[in-house]
Structure 1
Amino acid sequence: MNTAKYKLPTTKYWHYSRELDLDVSRFLVHDKIKLYNASQYHMPKWQDATITENFLFEKVMHNKRICKRLIEKILGITIQSIEFPEAEKSIDIRRDSKSVRLDVYVTDNTGRVYDIEMQCTNPFDDELVKRTRYYQGMVDMDLIDKGMNYTELNSTYIIFICTFDLFGLGYPMYTFRNVCLEDNTLELNDGTTKLFLNSTSVIPYESPDTFPYSSLDDDIFYFLQYINGHAPQGKFVNEIDTEVGKVKENKEMEKSYMTYTMEIERHRREAKNIGIAIGREEGLNQGLKQGQAVGRKFQAQKMALSMLEDKASIPLISKYTGLTEQEIRALAKEHNLL
């Protein structure tokens, strides 16, 4: 069985899986993680789905006003307008490369790119951080055409809205840009920014007034609470909640979600079956190897006994059988040849 083309699901440190991506000039939504985490995560029924569900989040973000305001409030910037040039876009630079599927592709009036993901599974090791690097590369490759100058690359923001604290320092937001190690006031200014929001930072606090990080927008504070299952507070989060309700009342959306759920379940079953098949194959291979090792040992012992009967020296027997001198002496004693 050739397993090279399969990526098996990992079963360590699962919490709750969703995902989505945005672009400052473009807005991207992905579900790759859920696809592979599906062996442990079961999507809720439509009536139980919340904003953290990738499918629902994507549909809510199709509301231009909400999408635009969320970006503005996270980044503390003003955007004149955003557009959705394509309902679904896939970045696939080479046939043999890992593609990035973009459910929504949003551009703003300045050409900046935003990639926002709702991330409810805390991956092990540095998988999430390395994923931002891959997304950045794929977006850049998609942005620049052959013959274009590198200076034409648009600024990009990759934003992860996390239901966990990826770095464990308690900050509500971690912002990364390329800076000089010798002088951290010197930025590379390559136009790339990566942000990780931490919704757990707001859990102990009732309102922005008691929150120790005053730089966080009040509406983002309430948004992070909302992600944690709190009742919506503030005009902006109530607008989001209203949009969630509208989407969930749409029967066509419900049918699409059911189809999407069945597709995810199919991938989950396939991944599970692939894992079982590979496990069986590895077990058979391991058993075969062990059997072969036992057979070789038996033949070596058989040869050693013959040589002992012929009064060959123990060092000589060890040389030709591969057995240690201690093993040969024990074998000789067992058969009364010493």
Structure 2
Amino acid sequence: MYRIKPWEELTIQDDYMFKLIMSIKPICLNLLQGILRVEIKDIRYLETEKSMNARYQGKGIRLDVYVRDDAETVYNIEMQVRMLEGMNLCKRTRYYQSMIDADLLAEGADYDDLNKTIIIFICSFDPFGKNRHIYTFRNLCLEERSIELCDDATKIFLNTKGTLNDVDESVKAFLDYVNGYACDDPLVQEIDEAIQRIKRENEKRVSYMTFAMKMMEERKAGFKEGKAEGKLEGKLEGKLEGVASSIRSMMENLGISLEKAMDVLQIPANERTKYAALVRN
């Protein structure tokens, strides 16, 4: 049975809290500097939870954190708490990249002027099974590994379960914190204090409960629609289309991604490909 997570129990792993914490500029800036091991003078938010509607037939996306630094590099940061079936996680970065590029081009940029982009997925699991805290991907020539494509597109996967200690101590402390282990690292302490402060803000609590109740209502409406369609079209077909309709509705009305909508509806991992195909069609 679906349960609304109490406000007091939210952690950095929960999308709602993650977005609030990453909207605090010093925290977001310090985390980026630690991950990339470079100095960044300043960042500006292009829009927290940026909504990007496909400019061709297809689905839109919402980015958790979307920022640009003083050198015009664009960053997208996402929290991922579930390993998706097959190659869905990797292909999601490909789709996000295409939508970010389309968004930048829509602002009037020429191909030659496309910003450098870095997509960062913070994963509470090891996406590649090599025990690294960080996996960084850029396009290289297979025949001549010394040749990089230089398309200025980078994808980074952070793994909270890593054991190779291949990141800065502060980043490792942050990843441990995502796992539920706090320490006296300054960045971790700043994040933890911010979460406790946010939880005391009644306005934030009310906003969360409103959002959570809308999700609950959409879920109930989807199952009700599924039952109704099941009577008309046959139980199995009606249930499938009813749940798919609920997913579409949640994506549109609540502005959440396909995967997050399926999380709310508690759709098993082995059934998600089927429902994703129904939604896209």
Where on the TM-score scale, by shorter chain, does this alignment land: which range? 0.7 to 0.9
Q: Give the share of equivalent positions with the same residue, in percent.
A: 42
Match of 1:160 in 2: 121
Per-residue deviation, 1:182: 0.5
Runs of 4+ in 1 over 6 A off after TM superposition: none
Per-residue deviation, 1:106: 1.9
Match of 2:241 in 1: none
1:77 aligns with 2:28: no
Structure 1 residues 85, 49: CA separation in 2 closer, same or farther (over 3 Å shift)?
same
Match of 1:259 in 2: 210
For 1:86, the aligned partner's letter is E
Query: In the TM superposition, what are the counterparts of 1:230-269 in structure 2 within 5 Å?
Result: 230-269=181-220
Q: Deviations over 1:4-39 (max 9, x none)?
A: xxxxxxxxxxxxxxxxxxxxxxxxxxxxxxxxxxxx
SS at match of 2:205: helix
Partners of 1:74 and 1:220 within 8 A in 2: yes
1:170 aligns with 2:131: yes
Per-residue deviation, 1:110: 1.2
Match of 2:268 in 1: none
What is the TM-score with the length of structure 2 in the denominator?
0.77
CA RMSD, aligned part only? 2.3
- Tell me the distance in 2 between the aligned counterparts of 1:231 and 1:133: 33
Which structure is higher in RCO with an 8 Å CA cutoff and minimum separation 6?
1
SS at match of 1:118: strand
Per-residue deviation, 1:102: 3.7
For 1:248, the aligned partner's letter is K
- Tell me the distance in 1 between the aligned counterparts of 2:236 and 2:196: 52
Structure 1 residues 149, 264: CA separation in 2 closer, same or farther (over 3 Å shift)?
same
Partners of 2:65 and 2:76 within 8 A in 1: no
Match of 2:10 in 1: 49
Match of 2:62 in 1: 101
- Tell me the distance in 2 between the aligned counterparts of 1:219 and 1:156: 23
What is the TM-score with the length of structure 1 in the denominator?
0.65
1:221 aligns with 2:175: no
Match of 1:62 in 2: 23
Gaps of 5+ in 2: 239-281
- Tell me the distance in 2 between the aligned counterparts of 1:60 and 1:74: 17
Structure 1 residues 246, 94: CA separation in 2 closer, same or farther (over 3 Å shift)?
same
Match of 1:3 in 2: none
Structure 1 residues 194, 230: CA separation in 2 closer, same or farther (over 3 Å shift)?
same
- Tell me the distance in 1 between the aligned counterparts of 2:154 and 2:237: 47
Larger radius of gyration: 1
SS at match of 2:129: coil
SS at match of 1:94: coil
Which of the numbers 50, 53, 57 marks the counterpart of 1:92?
53
Number of matched pairs:
237
Deviates more, 1:262-271 or 1:118-127: 262-271
- Tell me the distance in 2 between the aligned counterparts of 1:113 and 1:42: 36
For 1:150, the aligned partner's letter is Y
Gaps of 5+ in 1: 1-39, 203-211, 287-338
Per-residue deviation, 1:158: 0.8
Partners of 1:232 and 1:241 within 8 A in 2: no
For 1:218, the aligned partner's letter is E
